[in-house]
Structure 1
Amino acid sequence: MVAPDSTTGKSLPTDTALPLARIRTIMKSSLDTGQITNEVLFLMAKATEMFIQHVTKESITKVDKGNTLKYEHLAKFAQSRESLEFLLQIIPQKIKVKEFREILKKKDDQDSDDSD
């Protein structure tokens, strides 16, 4: 599928897996974004697709058993790469409620020791 570019009138391919309208909306939500041309929109969509494919392929190579990619694999991969540090808040490693309570208890114990 081909769509005309608003600035040059040339046709651009629109065969992306991600919806261009959503990407445009996300880009417009940034205060620093000016006019978003179709070329920029297409490049962002393709770059995002390639990034997702890269993270998926790299994560699945770390899987011990089977070919199923799980959330834990993505979180572990994001934790293992310094270049993916920006994903740590988006894909945090899951912890059990019991572990979380233990962390809170240790923090409370430290806070009470500090106040004494």
Structure 2
Amino acid sequence: MVEPKSSKNKNTERSFPLSRVRTIMKSSVDTGNISNEVLFVVEKSAELFIQKLAKSAYKNCKQGNTLQYEHLSSYVSKDDSLEFLLQIVPEKITVKEFKEIISQEKETDESSSESEEESQPVVKKKTPNKK
């Protein structure tokens, strides 16, 4: 059996540019020198993580044959092990829904501050008489 000739060896193919992975890793304060072995492991693990995330989200989508942002965001919000991605891949909401959320938060803040003011006694300071 003859294997087809490929211009690239499967081991040398990269999903992410190593220079960018290194730059992202160096952006962390705690990172010192990054060896090529560590760089390769991080790049490969990121590749496998993204593949698993995409495949799992695609399996959970019930319509269409194209993976879309909504599929990823709903999968991330349902899976507890992906809680760290909730702020990175949030579910989309309309502007109207966002405004309603903001107004509800303001009302809650105002009512909680009013209740705190009512529960605390008012202390009046005596001012000395000036002559």
Pairwise TM-score range, normalised by the shorter structure: 0.7 to 0.9
- Cα distance, 1:15 vs. partner? 1.9
Q: RCO higher in 1 or 2 (8 Å CA, sep ≥ 6)? A: 1
5 Å-filtered alignment, 1:1-116, equals 13-114=11-112, 115=114
Unpaired runs of 5+ in structure 2? 1-7, 116-131
- Please provide the CA RMSD for this pair: 1.7
More strand by percentage = 1
Unpaired runs of 5+ in structure 1? 3-12
Aligned length: 106
**SS of 2:70 mapped into structure 1:** helix
- Cα distance, 1:109 vs. partner? 2.6
- The one-character-per-residue Cα deviations of 1:31-78 (angstroms, maximum 9, x if unpaired) are 111211111111111100000000000000011112111111111111
- Cα distance, 1:105 vs. partner? 2.0
Runs of 4+ in 1 over 6 A off after TM superposition: none
Sequence identity (%): 49
Larger radius of gyration: 2
Cα distance in 2, alignment partners of residues 27 and 89 from structure 1: 20
Query: Would the aligned equivalents of 1:14 and 1:42 in 2 still touch at CA under 8 Å?
Result: no
Cα distance in 1, alignment partners of residues 26 and 108 from structure 2: 45
